[in-house]
Amino acid sequence: MSASSTRRPSYAAVLSVPRARRTFAAALVGRLSYGVAPLAVMLAVTRTTGSYAVAGVVMALFGATVVVLAPYRAALVDRHGPRRALIPMSLLHSGLLCALAAVSWRPGASAVVLGALAAVAGACAPPLGPTMRSVWGELVGDRRLLQRAYSLDGVAEELLYVSGPLLVGAVIGVASAAVGVLLGALLMAVGTLVFVSSPAVALVRPAGRPESREGGGGSLRGRGLAQPVVVAAGMGLALSAVDLLVVAFAAEHGRGDETVAWVLAALSAGSAVGGLLNGAVDWRVTARVRLPLLAAGLGVTLGLAGLAPGVGVLAIAAACAGFFVAPALTTAYLIADEAAPEGFRTQAGTWVNTAVNAGSSTGAATAGLLVERLPSAVCFVVAGSVALVAAGVAGLRGLAPAAPAGAGQAG
């Protein structure tokens, strides 16, 4: 590994690791597609069919295949290596997005064709985020520096999901929504091809078939990953409800939908600040101890957010809640990396991703039912309680086994 343990553990030190900047920048270009393509696809489908219901079904198919098949795509990356796995995934995913853009270019497209293209495109989505974290694990030897690398990665990803929709908005202001879908395809193809051409990616060695390695695949299903997966799922459930709860809160207080964006922006800003500070702190407690505390902090602040007297105070409360988001996810990825056997890092990180996304999908549907029956303040308490329950479960002694002999501390 190329990072020395004596290197000053700072963000500058992370970016000064040989080949890190080029590799990270290319991965971010590809990952920007994740912030661009979903919204562009939804708008393109809505405009070509004239139906919000069809758009909802198409996006549900797209999201379902992205989430459910993510661990299997990650297993292909670990088994065959990033270059052999990511290039065909990227080209298939980008090609299918181009086909979807072509079909949706004019009104009257078939809903069945759109749904099929979206589902298959989602099934091929390359796991660039988990693969980049695997690359960080190979590039950075010092665990404190790896914490900063993961924090930087998490904050950058947060910003991508903010800037992606803004980019789509700029595109559809001058062109068809289908052009936004093409942009998502281009970002994915170019970013992935440049990413896999980096010598740093070659450091992630193929693991071969799981059954050929003693304890390989089975270890990923063991107790070591339970803690980060439980917390990630709980956070996904809680946070996915926030979007709808903010809309309901604004309506209850006589404010328009334009105020919702400011509250959600405050949540993202708080997450970015929290992520950067988390990476800068030289923690003296282990990651397995920090993780349930961070999840509990999110739960408490979300529960208190519902007591806000107005939207302005709610925005401040959202920023405070966001302060725990990126640190908790970064810590979950660190634990997953520590728990993964050599050659299975991509799968381990993907299970955390999958837990967040699966929790988000479930939470969004549940929040819709709750908002229709309960005041928004009570719903905020329910959302916070989900994160608190996840924190309590993750804090159980049985879900936090000692690190294997020879494993470094996660923070």
Instruction: Copy the structure tokens of residue 227.
Output: 């803690």
Q: Stretch 50-75: mean pLDDT, rounded?
A: 87
Please state, in angstroms and rounded to a whole number, the distance separating the CA atoms of residues 2 and 225: 27
The stretch 104-113 carries a mean pLDDT of 91
Taking residues 347-371, report their average pLDDT.
81
Predicted confidence (pLDDT) at residue 5 exceeds the cutoff of 70: no
What was the pLDDT predicted at 220?
A: 52
Top pLDDT among 147 and 407 is at 147
Residue 383 to residue 404: CA distance in whole angstroms: 35
Check residue 257 and give its pLDDT: 58
Separation of alpha carbons 310 and 300, rounded Å: 19
- The pLDDT value given to residue 374: 82
pLDDT number for residue 398? 43
Q: What's the mean pLDDT in 366-394?
A: 86
pLDDT of residue 73: 93
The residue type of 57 is V
Mean pLDDT, range 369-395, rounded to an integer: 87
Mean pLDDT value across the chain: 84
Tokens of 256: 């328009």
Predicted confidence (pLDDT) at residue 410 exceeds the cutoff of 50: no
Q: Is the model more confident about 291 or about 265? A: 291
How crowded is residue 278: how many other Cβ atoms within 10 Å of its Cβ? 26
Q: For 293-337, what is each residue's pLDDT tens digit?
A: 999 999 999 999 989 888 889 999 999 999 999 999 989 988 888
* Secondary structure, 3-state, 348-361: HHHHHHHHHHHHHH
Integer Rg of the chain from CA: 21
The proportion of the chain whose per-residue pLDDT surpasses 90, expressed as a percent, equals: 37
Identity of the amino acid at 3: A
pLDDT tens, residue by residue, 182-196: 999 999 999 999 999
Which two three-digit tokens encode residue 228? 């980060």
Q: Residue 223: which pLDDT band, with cuts at 50, 70 and 90?
A: low
Quickly state the pLDDT bin for 407 (edges 50, 70, 90). very low
The predicted model gives 279-300 an average pLDDT of: 88
Tokens found for residue 72: 């299997």
**Which pLDDT score is estimated for 213?**
43
Cβ atoms 86, 131 nearer than 8 A: yes
| Among 121-125, 151-155, 157-161, 399-403, the range of highest mean pLDDT | 121-125
pLDDT reported for residue 296: 95
Query: Across the chain, how many H-helices and E-strands are there?
Result: 17, 0
pLDDT of residue 348: 84
Inter-helix orientation angle 128-139/82-103, to 10°: 150
Of the listed ranges 10-14, 91-95, 330-334, the one predicted with least confidence: 10-14
Task: Check residue 408 and give its pLDDT.
Answer: 37
Per DSSP, 4 falls in state -
Name the residue with tokens 């304890």. 215
Most distant CA pair in the chain, distance: 62
Class of residue 194 by CB neighbours under 10 A (exposed 0-12, middle 13-18, buried 19+): middle
C-alpha separations of 366 from 246, 285, 360, 361 in Å: 15, 35, 10, 9
Query: Is the pLDDT assigned to residue 400 strictly greater than 50?
Result: no
pLDDT confidence band for 369 (50 / 70 / 90): confident
Query: In this predicted structure, what is the pLDDT of residue 409?
Result: 36
- Stronger pLDDT, 304 or 143, i.e. the higher one: 304
Model confidence band, residue 157 (pLDDT cutoffs 50, 70, 90): confident
